[in-house]
Structure 1
């Protein structure tokens, strides 16, 4: 039962990210608040479960992101998978240090925004200058998602501890 908890939790957060957030936080002219809550959760999963698990969750969720919210298929699938993989490469050294985990989350969200902007800029899909992008979208997104990462980190740590105990119990009884 517990192994289905993470995919269900990601699906629920994906729905919340795309619906409730836009209702609760009205848009402003100066800043674009882009919730990447599912991506933050995938980075945390990648830290705890490993880079390949993060790649799998990131690729699948990124594909959903592309299909639902983007007109180009593959940009978010690649970006989510690649950055989740990178976030989980050093998971053993980061796993028990909260400040390092927050740093990895903030760097991953920052990398996601920069990578998607770079891809869109490179193919000529956007014409927003980098200065405007950095002030209006990159900075608010990093702040919003970093705060979400700090808030969600503690409950997810408890879930992962419970999953680890369950896995140890299963392996011991076999």
Structure 2
């Protein structure tokens, strides 16, 4: 069970870069950007704590930079920061699935705006904000929010099982 979370994130990372691109062909009007691994990291941050989310976010963001970006550090910084912020209020959020969904949607939204702002600020992206918002931000938030709805309950069950195992291990010591 110890390696389950990294394996799930790796699988989500692979799906968003391969299968999703095949199953959902690009359109001229919308850019559907899957952030499935990031959504899982936000959930991990909520249930396991901000520091854990920061670590998972930083590592996965570095992979995102290396595989998909020509600038190293933008996604590493963005994933880590947003995951950390998402996990700060974890105790009050994790018992309410609707609030978990709100945090996921806000985190994905924040990630898209932050990375757009960084790329736009350094002159790497020249798309006006209105076009970005309509073509990429809104479709991405909808897509990843839907993924969050699908994955939230199974992930919660995984965390409950991990918590029971931890309690069992501590009790047996």
TM over 0.5: yes
Displacement, 1:58? 0.1
Q: After superposition, give the CA deviation of every residue in 1:54-97 in whole Å (9 maximum; x if it has no partner).
A: 00000000000000000000000000000000000010000100
Structure 1 equivalent of residue 76 of structure 2: 77
1:158 aligns with 2:154: no
* Unmatched 5+ stretches in structure 1: none
Instruction: State the Cα distance separating 1:5 from its structure 2 match.
Output: 0.4
Aligned residues: 173
Counterpart secondary structure, 1:3: coil
Structure 1 equivalent of residue 116 of structure 2: 117
Partner of 1:135: 134
Aligned to 2:59: 60
Mapped partners of 2:55, 2:36: distance in 1:
17
Deviation at 1:170, TM superposition (A): 0.5
Q: List gaps (5 residues or longer) in structure 2.
A: none
Any idea what the Cα deviations from partners look like across 1:30-70, whole Å, max 9, x if unmatched? 00000000000000000000000000000000000000000
Superposed structure 1 runs of 4+ greater than 6 Å apart? none
Tell me if 1:41 matches 2:1: no
How far is the alpha carbon of 1:3 from its aligned partner?
1.0
Query: 1:128-171 CA deviation, whole Å, 9 max, x = no partner?
Result: 00000000000000000000000000110110010000000011
- Taking only aligned residues, the RMSD between alpha carbons, in angstroms, comes to 0.4
TM-score (norm 2): 0.99
- What is aligned with 1:8? 7
Distance 1:9 1:111 in 2: 23
